[in-house]
Structure formats: structure tokens, C-alpha cells
Amino acid sequence: MLLLERTKSSKLVMLESLVRRLHPSDSDYAYFKEGYQRQVAGYEGEKWVDREWFDMPNLGCHYLFCNYEFENEHGFSHQIDTVSLTLKYLLILEIKNISGRVDIDEDKHQMIVTRPDGTTKSYANPLDQIRRHAQHLGVLLDQFKFPLPIEGALVFSNPATIIGNVPKNFPIFHSSGLRHFVQRLLKKYHEKLSEKQSAQLSKILLTKLKRQEVNPSFDLSRLRKGVLCGVCDFQVIMTYRGGTWQCMSCGARDKSAILQGLHDYRALIGNKITNKEFREFFGVESMDAASKILSRLELESYGKKRGRYYLIPSNINKK
């Protein structure tokens, strides 16, 4: 049973908005664009591996958590790509989408990636990370007295990745190997939990879920303001006229275009907006028009008169 669906991380959401809004002449544009592309690749890779879970045989009573995040006993955050809870064991997956060749040196605690163009780069050893996740999840299981073994695996989502010299004593494989690996685990262990206990544990894991939020506060002058036209690939600013947003370039009229704008505002500036801030950012001159747009969105609001602010919910562009 899928208990926690895969969602974009708050970092990816922020970078997506940033790449759309940052002036291309900004000195950090290339840096953020690259970070964005890396995050997208990671997210796509994770979704690719997720498909392996559908119709996987013999799983029995089973709970799946994608992008599971929790805080350990010291208050440090753990972000785990996938957690699979069965009656026999708990499995954590670290998923990497890498093009080129990967070598992992346990003695030096490093992962070397050789790109198709021959350049190499060193990264932290992902196995260390998996072990850290396992250790702290183990503390959680002990705390609630669930005697469940924890297994970990490093999964490469890109079939073209060449897995080079890696430790033999740790499960490292392509996503197509996930089924085989899971079947081996199911054979290796006996049932340690009843279905009722595993349902209890799944609920505990959900209550311990704690998403990391990124709180950027970009200087407004670095950003492209306004409601941007989706048809024109967000390159053209729309005008508010006759109760709707219009693109003077392609002629599109879209009442809901403001939702995407507010989504970007939330991701880059914050989740609160006043009438004045709204007018300044979205280029609406009339206070009344701004009030009308904001009240039509039925956002929660707090305060009175000039101090009144509206809360932009995280799902604003899915309304």
C-alpha cells in the first residue's frame, strides 16, 4: 500500500520557480539552472524506480513511503528516497540518477563519477548516508519496540549508468534488480510483526514525517515580476484586464494564471502577501481590483485594513 506519494522536494519546487523568475542576466543564473536540472534528474529517476513496486509479487502486507523525511533524536533531518515496510524487514533505498560511470571507495568514503565527457567528480559516499538513515530509523524502531531488521540498498535509476568498482558487501544495483533483491530479502527473513503491528508502525512513521522546508528570501530586484504567460513559456508578462489575465503577445486569456504566479511568490519570497505587495509584484494598479482577485481566490487572511495579509497555500497552483 502506498502511504506516502512521491512529491517534488521543496528544494526542487523552489528551483523550478527560481529558474522561471530569475533574470537570465543574474550572475547566479547558470548555477541555479544546473542545480535545478540535477534535482529534476533525481526526481525523474526516483519516479522511474517507483514503477518497479507495482505488481511486485509476494510482498504481502506492505507499506511504501516515498521521500520519507524524519528528524532523528538529535534534531537532524533524514531524507530517504524510499522506505518499504513489510512484516519481515524495513528496507530503505537511496536512488541515484547518474550518467556515466560510478566507482565507490569505502576506505576513502567517496563516490567518483566519471561523466561521458571524461570529467570526474567526487561525492560523499552514499553508503555512509544509507547507514546513517538505518541507524536512526533503528533508534525509532527500538523506541517503539518493533524488532524489525533494517536493510538498505543503493539503486541506480539510469540504465546507462556503468557501475564500476563498488563494495561487494553492500547491495548496489540497477533498478531492474530491485525485484530480485526484494525476493531474496523475503526469503531471508521470517515474519517479525503481525499485520496489526505493522499497521501501527506505519502510522508511527507517518506521524514522525517531517518535511524540510527551504525558506528563501530572494531580493525582489533579482526576479521577474508579474503573471507570466504559460503559453509563451513564461517569457511574457500578462496584463489584468476585464477580470482576467491577458497575454498581449499570443492573445491567451487565463483567469487562473495568477495561481502559478502566487505559487512562485510563495516558493521564492514567502507564504504571506498583502494587498500592496500583491499589486507591486503582479502589476495591478487598483487596490479594489487586487482585493477582488484575492477574495475570489478564497485565501485565508489575517489582520485588518493595511495590515491584512493573505496566506498562500502550498497547493495553490493545483486548485
Should residue 247 be labelled a site residue for Zn ion when binding is judged by CB under 5 A?
yes
Least distance between Zn ion and beta carbon 45 (Å): 32
Give least dist CB 227 to Zn ion, A: 11
Report the residue number, 114 or 239, with the smaller CB distance to Zn ion. 239
Q: What DSSP string describes 236-287? A: SB-EEETTEEE-TTT--B-TTHHHHHHHHHHHHT-SEEEHHHHHHHHT---H
Contact flag: residue 229 with Zn ion (CB under 5 A): yes
167: cell is 563494495
250 contributes a contact to Zn ion by CB under 5 A: yes
What's the closest the beta carbon of residue 6 comes to Zn ion, in angstroms?
31
Of 130 and 229, which has the nearer Cβ to Zn ion? 229
Out of 41, 186, 231, 297, name the contact with Zn ion by CB under 5 A: 231
- 297 lies in the binding site for Zn ion (CB under 5 A): no
Name the residue nearer to Zn ion (CB basis): 4 or 227: 227
252 is an interface residue for Zn ion by CB under 5 A:
yes
* # binding residues, Zn ion (CB under 5 A): 8
Return the number of the residue (135 or 249) whose C-beta is nearest Zn ion. 249
Residue 293 beta carbon to Zn ion: minimum distance, rounded to whole angstroms: 19
Q: How far is the CB of 249 from Zn ion (least distance, A)?
A: 5
Q: Which three three-digit cell numbers place residue 304?
A: 485588518
Three-state SS for 64?
A: strand
162 touching Zn ion, by CB under 5 A? no
Q: Is 232 in the site for Zn ion (CB under 5 A)?
A: yes
Q: Which segment (66-74, 111-119, 225-233, 269-277) binds Zn ion by CB under 5 A?
A: 225-233
3-state secondary structure of 182: helix
Dihedral in degrees, nearest 10, Cα atoms 159, 165, 171, 172: -20
C-alpha grid cell, residue 172: 548496489
For Zn ion, the closer of residues 9 and 317 by Cβ is 317
**Considering the rule CB under 5 A, would residue 228 count as an interface residue with Zn ion?**
no
DSSP 103-122: EEETTTTEEEEE-TTS-EEE
Give burial (CB, 10 Å; 0-12/13-18/19+) of 131: middle
C-beta of 165 vs 235, nearer to Zn ion = 235
164 contact partners, CB below 8 Å, separation of at least 6: 101, 102, 103, 114
Q: Does 239 bind Zn ion (CB under 5 A)?
A: no
Separation CA 231–CA 210 (nearest Å): 36
Residue 150 three-state SS:
strand
Instruction: Give the three-class secondary structure for 89.
Output: coil
Q: Identify which of residues 2 and 250 has a Cβ nearer to Zn ion in the complex.
A: 250
Q: Do 6 and 66 meet the contact criterion of CB atoms below 8 Å apart?
A: yes
Query: Nearer Cβ to Zn ion, position 232 or 297?
Result: 232
Tell me: does residue 257 bind Zn ion (CB under 5 A). no
* Residue 248 binds to Zn ion (criterion: CB under 5 A): no
Residue 173 to residue 156: CA distance in whole angstroms: 6
Rounded to a whole number of angstroms, the minimum distance from the CB of residue 254 to Zn ion is 9
- Note the residues at the interface with Zn ion (CB under 5 A): 229, 231-232, 236, 247, 249-250, 252
